[in-house]
Structure 1
Amino acid sequence: MTRSTQPQPPQASEPLSNADRQALLAIANALAPLDEAAIEPLLQTITVQRLAPGEALLRAGEPGAREFFVLDGVLKSWVGDAQGREVTLAFHVGPGVLTPAIARVVNERSRVHCHALTAAVVAGFEASLLLDCMLRVPSVQRWGDAVMRAELMRRVDREWALAALPAMERLQHFRAQFPGLEARIAQHHIASYLGITPVSLSRLRAQERAAAV
């Protein structure tokens, strides 16, 4: 049966508070060292959205050339397949970053849907501002390259798991990659990410419980 989350429109954005600014910089520097002074003009443009579960951050086909930091909460990126079913592409768990715009935007429009699975706080800014800063400041370019390498490795790792691992091992791989996430979101999101049905996921969990007895 097809599930539709029907994400709701996002709440209005608000200016970046000092607390959110510090949280954002902590995320950025955890990925790669970043010169705060070099990106100060960019920081001044950042706005924050506070999303309730089910609210949309991005919709496929709509303008989406923005970069996002996930300050808190869990979001997922997904597309609809030919049968209208949701196919989960990625989970974005705060503190962290969303998939870079260059990997999810074509002709200034989003190729994917992205919505909150839990209450979430997201800080965003125009992707063109980061690109301009990367062209002018070598340290920012190195930071952007590090973010893209991390995204490439995430995608390669997932493709390998889908192609090479049996379902039980894919579940274990997911748990190692996203500690604690299994208890925070609905089963069908995880099943879609693993490339199996919710029924199959339930069976895997039942096998684990039986083996533990």
Structure 2
Amino acid sequence: MSTIKEYINNIIELEEETLNKLLKCFYPLELKKKEFFVREGEYARQIGFLKDGVVRAYFLNQEGKEYNKQFFTGPSIIGAYASLLTKQPNKIAQQALTDCSILVAEYSNIEKLYEEYHEIERLGRKIAEYYFLEKEQKEIEMALLDADKRYFILKERFPGLESIIPQYYIASYLGISRTQLSRVRKKILHS
């Protein structure tokens, strides 16, 4: 398990004083399976470092059908970025699919550090760039790849995930039905 310090230093080496200022903003939070880090309609105020566990980001359409947009596995950064940046209600809920250990910071405290420590602002930009690229990659995969290839990518990106979360979450993430997922898995098993 990666610590927040290791995670940050893999993105950008911060000076010890700067890193310590940033780390002082975080406090531990245990999120139980099915609890929300942030709900749809709430104003997001926190950012989190997921140390351990699985969180899904999802939204509901007008008919109440769920679409799993993303899975986060520790270590990673979680939070309702659009709501944090725009100060508008959140549209994409983030829910624990397993018990999770998280370090949480008030985003306003991080923003204050941006003013004083440009290294921290740079860290924030690099994290945002990473998630932008990841989002674009998933959009390309959804548009250009068939379900079999998307399933292989999911298995590479999230090893072991399908053994700990329900299959319908995976089907939704892949943009296919549970029946299609079952066919894809059978086809791969017998090939």
Check if 1:151 corresponds to 2:131: yes
Higher alpha-carbon deviation: 22-31 or 202-211? 22-31
**What SS class does the counterpart of residue 77 from structure 1 fall into?**
strand
Q: Is the 8 A contact 1:62 1:110 kept in 2?
A: yes
Paired amino acid for 2:124 = G
Measured after TM superposition, the shift of residue 39 of structure 1 is 4.4
Q: Is the 8 A contact 1:65 1:109 kept in 2?
A: no
Measured after TM superposition, the shift of residue 174 of structure 1 is 1.2
Measured after TM superposition, the shift of residue 108 of structure 1 is 4.9
Paired amino acid for 1:28 = I
Q: How many residues align?
A: 190
Q: Which runs of 5+ in 2 are unaligned?
A: none
TM-score (ref. length: structure 2): 0.91
TM-score (ref. length: structure 1): 0.82
Kindly report the root-mean-square deviation, in angstroms, between the aligned alpha carbons of the 2 structures: 1.9
Check if 1:89 corresponds to 2:65: no
Q: Which runs of 5+ in 1 are unaligned?
A: 1-19
**What SS class does the counterpart of residue 190 from structure 2 fall into?**
helix
Residues 42/32 of structure 1: CA separation in 2 closer, same or farther (3 Å cut):
closer
Counterpart of 1:110 in structure 2 is 90
Cα distance in 2, alignment partners of residues 182 and 170 from structure 1: 14
Identity %: 27
Cα distance in 1, alignment partners of residues 16 and 64 from structure 2: 44
Counterpart of 1:31 in structure 2 is 11
Cα distance in 2, alignment partners of residues 76 and 102 from structure 1: 14
Q: Equivalent residues in 2 for 1:1-213 (5 A)?
A: 23-99=3-79, 101-105=80-84, 106-211=86-191
Q: Is the 8 A contact 1:65 1:108 kept in 2?
A: no
Cα distance in 1, alignment partners of residues 167 and 18 from structure 2: 43
Q: Is the 8 A contact 2:82 2:90 kept in 1?
A: no
Higher alpha-carbon deviation: 86-95 or 109-118? 109-118
Cα distance in 1, alignment partners of residues 83 and 67 from structure 2: 15
Paired amino acid for 2:81 = I
**What SS class does the counterpart of residue 50 from structure 2 fall into?**
strand
Higher alpha-carbon deviation: 49-58 or 37-46? 37-46
Higher alpha-carbon deviation: 193-202 or 108-117? 108-117
Cα distance in 2, alignment partners of residues 42 and 210 from structure 1: 50
Residues 75/102 of structure 1: CA separation in 2 closer, same or farther (3 Å cut):
closer
